[in-house]
Structure 1
Amino acid sequence: MPKRKHCDRAAEARQKQLYLIFDDWSGGYTIRHVNLPSGTCEVAEQRLPPPFLRLPGTRGLANYFAYAFGASIIAALPQHPLSDNAMPIFDVRKRSFISDLCKRSFISGLRGFLYALHTDCLELLCRSQQRSPGSIAGESWSWHMLPKPPFLPLGVVSYAVHPDGPTILISSESFFDNPMVGTFTFHTNNSVWTKRGEWMLPFDGRAHFDGDLGIFVGLSRDPKTLGHLCCCDKASLNTCNSNTDEWPAPAWKLCPKKLFSGNPGERHVSATLVYLGSKSKFCLVECIYFEDVRDDQVLKEGGKHGCRHSCYMYRLTKFTLSYDSKGDLKTKSRRVGYYKVPKKASAESIRDLPVAFWL
C-alpha cells in the first residue's frame, strides 16, 4: 500500500497544469497554477491561488514570456525594454532555475529548439547535453543567427508549426512601407525563407496543430467573426515538402458557435487559446471587463452572489473539438470558470493577450 501511494503521488506530480502570469508584484511578475473549470455550467469566481514564484523584471512586458523544452518557462525580461539582460529559465516541475541567458522575444518552439523573431533578424536558441561554464544540469545553451526574414517581423499576424516537416509558416501584413505581404515558410533544416503566396493564414496569432483531428486550430483573424474558432486541414498545407514556391490558399472552416462570452455584463478585452496536448482538448483564456450589473446577470453558485463590482477577470473555457454529422467543427463539453485579475496588475498587461501555459 505505501508503494502504491508513492506511485500515485509521483503520477500527480507529473500531471500538467495551467500556469498564469501576472505583473501584479511591485518588483515584477508572479506565476500561479490554477485548476481548469469542471462541471457542466458556468461557475462563480474562483479564488486565485497564491503565487509559487515571483520573478523580478520590468513590468508591462508579459509578452516577453515563452515556453519550450518541456516544462520550462523562459522569461526574456530586460531591466529596460531596449537593453539586453539576463534571461531566466524556470523549470516548473523541478521548481528551480535552470540557467540564465541573454535576450529575447519569441515566436515559436519546435522539437527542442526555440526561434526568436526580432525587428530585423531570426535567431535560434538550442541546448545540448554538453556542460558549459555557468550552466546547470549539464546543459549548454546558445543562440545562433539565422537568415534575415524577407518581411518586417512587426507585421506578423499569424503563424503555425507544421507537424510533418521542419517548417514554420508565418503570415505578415502591411506594416509601414513593408512590400513583402503574404505567407512565408522557413525551412529549419535548410535555413531558407520562401514566399508561398499573397494569401494569409486565417488565424489571429498562433495556430495549434490538433493531431487527433489532423487540423490547425486558432482564433479567427477576421473582425466579423471575432470569438470564433477556425481551422485548416493538414492536407491543405501538406505542400511543405514541395519544391514549388507558390502554394494555393488553404481551405478553411469556421466554427459556427462563438466561443467568447455572450454575457451582456462581460466586455471582451483579449484572449489566448491554449492547446491541452491531446484528445482535441483546448482552453480559452479570455480577459473580460466585468461590469457592475443587475442581480439576474451576476454569476451564482449555490445561491450566493458572485462578483458584484466592476473588475477585470479571466474567463477560462475548457472544451473539446469534434466534427458534427455535416462535417462542421463544433465544441462540446464546455466548462467555464472565472478568476479575478489581481488589482495590482498593470494596464499594459491587461491590454495584452493573457499569458498562459499548459505545462
Structure 2
Amino acid sequence: MPKRRGQDNQNQHSNGASADKRSRPAPRRKHLYLVLDDWKKGFSVYKIDTDSFDSDSDDDQSPRVPFADRLPDPPALRLEIRGDGDMLFTTMGSKIFAVTDASYGQTPALVYNTETAGLAIGPAIPAHLQCGFSIVVAVTETLYAFSSPAFNNQQSFQVMSWALNSLHDQNTRYPSEEGRSWRSLPMLPPPYNIYEIVTSYAVHPDGQTIFMTTSYRDRPNLQRSTYSFNIKYCVWRWHDWVLPFRGQGHFDSELDAWVGLNMDDDICCCQVPSDIGSETPVELGTAQLDWQIVQDRFFPKKTERLLRASLTYMGRNKFCLVQSVIRKGAKERYPVDDDDACVLHLTMFGLKYSRKGELCATNRRSTCSYQVSRHKDYFSPQAFWV
C-alpha cells in the first residue's frame, strides 16, 4: 500500500530532523577552573567538576560546608615563575591568559586553551602595562587592560585584539595567538587624576560600553566617580555616581542587573544604566543607580578567618562564591608555606527577588571545600567559568 502524502512528509521531516540533530555538534561543557599559588615555584590551575558539589535541602536556609577535600592531582596546568614574580590571570572565551610582571624584562602572555589543554605563547605585553594592571576586561574576542600610575609612572589604557596582517591569519578560521596585538587607546579624561586607581568595573549588556569606578590611591574604600568608555566610538564619559562593587560586576539577564561583591564582601546587585552615551566625547551622564545588598549572608564558620572572597558568574543566574579562609589553630595569622592552614570554600547559588522586591539567594545551594596552601602574600585564589 503506498504511503499517504502526509505520512511520507512526516517521515521525511522526522528523518531530516534526526539527521540535523546528529550533525549538530553538542555544546561544549564548561568547567570551573581554580588558580592557586599552592606551590613554591609558581601557580596551579585546577579543573573542577561542579557536579560533585554537595547540595543543600530546600528547607535548609544556610549552606552546609562539607569536610575539606584535596584538589585533583595533578592539576590541569602548572606555571613556574622565578623568585617572587607576580602573575595575573584572566579569561577570554575558552582561554585563560597568564601574564607575568616586568621584573624580568618584556615577556609574552601565556594562553591556556581549555578545549585542547594546549599552552600557546601570546603577544608581548606593552611596556606601559608590564608593571601591573589595575583591571583587565574581556569583551567578546578583545581584551582591554588599564594600568594606573599606582603601578607605573605612566598610566596606560591598551586593547589586545586580532591583527589580520598575514595571509595565514586571513585564511584560517582559528588564527594563531601570534595574530593578536596590542594598541593604545585614549586615557581617562578629567576629573580623573594620577592619585586615583580603578577599584570596580562592569561591562554593559550592549557589549559596547565599559564602566570603571575610581578611588583615591590611599583610600581605596572611598569611591569617587565613574567613567564609561564607548568601544564603538572610542570616547569617554564621566558619571557622578559609583559602582558599589569591589572588582568586577557581572551582568545577569534574569535579574537585569550587575552582581558583585562590595568592600565588605557582601553580595550586592546594581541596576544597569540606560544613559550609556553616544559618539559625543566627555559629557556628563546624569543617571543615578539603585542598588541593594543580598539578604542572605555567606560567612565562613566561626573557627575560620576570612582572607578574601571573589565572585564568579556561571551564566543563567548561577554564581560561585569563592572564600579563602584560615583555619583555627594555624601557626601564623596570615600563614604562608603551611599546607594545612587554609581552606577554600566554594558555594554555588542563584539569586531571585522576593515578593517585597528584596534580592535573596535561592534556597538550594551547592558547596564544596578544599584544603589548600598559599605561598604568596599578595595573591588571592581566582575562579573562572570556561
How far, CA to CA, are the matches of 1:90 and 1:290 in structure 2?
A: 32
Which residue does 2:226 correspond to in 1?
183
Query: 2:276·2:285 contact (CA, 8 Å) conserved in 1?
Result: no
Give me the whole-angstrom Cα distance separating, in 2, the residues matched to 1:165 and 1:65: 21
- Counterpart code for 1:286: Q
SS of alignment partner, residue 276 of structure 2: helix
1:285 equivalenced with 2:322 (yes/no): yes
Pairing partner for 1:231 from 269, 281, 297: 269
Instruction: Tell me, yes or no, if the aligned pair for 1:60 and 1:346 is still in contact at 8 Å.
Output: no
**Aligned residue pairs: how many?**
319
Residues 250 and 57 of structure 1, relative CA distance in 2, 3 Å threshold? same
Distance 1:60 1:163, change over 3 A: farther
How far did residue 133 of structure 1 move? 8.1
Amino acid across the alignment from 1:123: Q
Counterpart position of 1:311:
341
The structure-2 alpha-carbon separation of the partners of 1:127 and 1:38, relative to structure 1 and needing over 3 Å to count, comes to: farther
CA distance in 1: counterparts of 2:303 and 2:180, whole angstroms: 48
Amino acid at match of 2:255: L
**2:65 corresponds to which residue?**
42
Task: Provide the C-alpha distance between the structure 1 equivalents of 2:87 and 2:310, rounded to a whole number of angstroms.
Answer: 12
Residues 115 and 61 of structure 1, relative CA distance in 2, 3 Å threshold: farther
Alignment pair present for 1:88 and 2:110: yes
1:44 Cα deviation from its structure 2 partner = 0.9
* TM superposition shift of 1:153: 8.7
Cα deviation 1:49-101 (Å, max 9, x = unaligned):
12121223246666611111x110001114x5373212111101111124322
Q: Helix, strand or coil for the counterpart of 1:157?
A: strand
1:1-359 aligned within 5 A: 14-36=28-50, 37-40=53-56, 41-50=64-73, 51-58=75-82, 64-68=88-92, 70-78=93-101, 80-81=102-103, 83-103=105-125, 104=129, 105=133, 106-119=135-148, 120-127=155-162, 131=166, 137-139=174-176, 140-150=179-189, 151=192, 152=194, 155-175=197-217, 181-197=224-240, 199-221=241-263, 226-234=264-272, 237-241=273-277, 245-261=284-300, 263-278=301-316, 280-292=317-329, 311-332=341-362, 333-342=364-373, 345-348=374-377, 351-359=378-386
Distance 1:284 1:60 in 2: 28
Instruction: Say if 2:214 and 2:224, in contact at 8 Å, map to a contact too.
Output: yes
TM-score relative to the length of structure 2: 0.75
Q: One-letter code of the match for 1:99?
A: I
Question: Secondary structure of the equivalent of 1:248?
Answer: coil
Q: Distance in 1 between matches of 2:162 and 2:253?
A: 26
* Larger Rg, first or second structure (1 or 2): 2
Distance verdict in 2 for CA 1:43–1:354, change over 3 Å? same
- Structure 1 counterpart SS, 2:65: coil
Report the Cα offset of residue 35 of structure 1: 2.9
Cα drift, residue 185 of structure 1? 0.6
* Cα distance in 1, alignment partners of residues 167 and 108 from structure 2: 17
Q: Is the 8 A contact 1:153 1:172 kept in 2?
A: no
Q: Give, in angstroms, the shift of residue 117 of structure 1.
A: 0.6
- Distance in 2 between the 1:38 and 1:62 partners? 34
SS at match of 1:142: strand
Contact 1:76 1:102 in 2 (8 A): no
Superposition deviation, residue 220 in structure 1: 1.8
The 1:248/1:58 distance shift into structure 2, 3 A limit, reads farther
Task: Give 1:15 shift.
Answer: 1.3
SS in 2 for 1:43: coil
C-alpha contact 1:165 1:240 (8 A) present in aligned 2: no
Instruction: For structure 1, list consecutive stretches of 5 or more residues without a partner in the other structure.
Output: 1-6, 294-308
Check conservation: 2:37, 2:376, Cα contact below 8 A.
Answer: no
Structure 2: give runs of 5+ residues left out of the alignment. 1-21, 57-63, 149-154, 331-338
Determine if contact 2:45/2:77 at 8 Å carries over to the other structure.
yes
User: Hey, what's the Cα distance between the residues in 1 that align with 2:218 and 2:254?
Assistant: 40
Matched residue SS, 1:207: strand
Q: Note closer, same or farther for the CA distance 1:176–1:26 as it changes in structure 2 (3 Å cut).
A: closer
RMSD, aligned α-carbons = 2.9
